[in-house]
A and B are shown apart, each in its own frame.
Chain A
Amino acid sequence: AQKVTQAQTEISVVEKEDVTLDCVYETRDTTYYLFWYKQPPSGELVFLIRRNSFDEQNEISGRYSWNFQKSTSSFNFTITASQVVDSAVYFCALSEAIQGAQKLVFGQGTRLTINP
């Protein structure tokens, strides 16, 4: 069965520190997609990134970067020079194709607090 584990339940850092959120997944599929979502206090989940299983290139977008390592089934997310606005719950998710749609299996989330 598909499974996503985010071992860090809560992380608290001081503004401008770098922080890495861990994500480990389990799947038997050879083709799959991994995602990160951000959930601010307002509630909606905001899409951050999608990575397919054949592309192990790391990605950087501004202060955000993602490290995908298939050998260790990990897809970690790093925020550089964190800001208070980065405070949110972050979810890692793994896709599973179903009839004409897709099912996302989510980790339990990591609550990130950036203190001024």
Chain B
Amino acid sequence: ETGVTQTPRHLVMGMTNKKSLKCEQHLGHNAMYWYKQSAKKPLELMFVYNFKEQTENNSVPSRFSPECPNSSHLFLHLHTLQPEDSALYLCASSQGQAVYGYTFGSGTRLTVV
């Protein structure tokens, strides 16, 4: 149990589908993040939330829509994705700028067909 739980672990969706990824942390952290990990690419930061307010959007296409209803939950809503969006999506949390690094979830392996 890592303290950050992501569901589902695997997801296959068509390009016209709408789905959501869920992330939950029970560590009392105030900041939550979405990262994308594609094959042979560095981890790419997508979104940052601090006390449920979005503080960074790293030029992510609008077909990815984040939602953070509270400091413990983070969602990534997906619609009309492209095959190149297939990747491992990792959620992480941290306690502010405590710089102890992130606690990561196990990720959602997304395949767009």
A-B contacts at CB below 8 angstroms, number: 81
Q: Which of B97, B102, B106 contacts A100 (CB 8 A)?
A: B97
Q: Is the CB of B43 within 8 A of A102?
A: no
Q: Is the CB of A50 within 8 A of B109?
A: no
Q: Is the CB of B51 within 8 A of A100?
A: yes
Neighbouring A residues of B2 by C-beta, 8 Å: 44
Chain B residue nearest to A104 (CB atoms) is B102
In the bound assembly, the distance between CA atoms of A42 and B104 in angstroms comes to 12
Which one, B13-21, B61-69, B74-82, B88-96, is touching chain A?
A: B88-96
Q: Which A residues lie at the B interface, using CB under 8 A?
A: 4, 33, 35, 37, 42-47, 50, 52, 91, 93, 95, 97-109
Return 30 A-B CB contacts under 8 Å, by A number. A33-B99, A35-B101, A37-B104, A42-B106, A43-B88, A43-B90, A43-B106, A43-B107, A44-B106, A46-B104, A47-B100, A50-B100, A97-B97, A97-B99, A99-B50, A99-B56, A100-B50, A100-B51, A100-B97, A101-B48, A101-B94, A103-B56, A104-B43, A104-B101, A105-B42, A106-B43, A107-B42, A108-B40, A108-B41, A108-B42
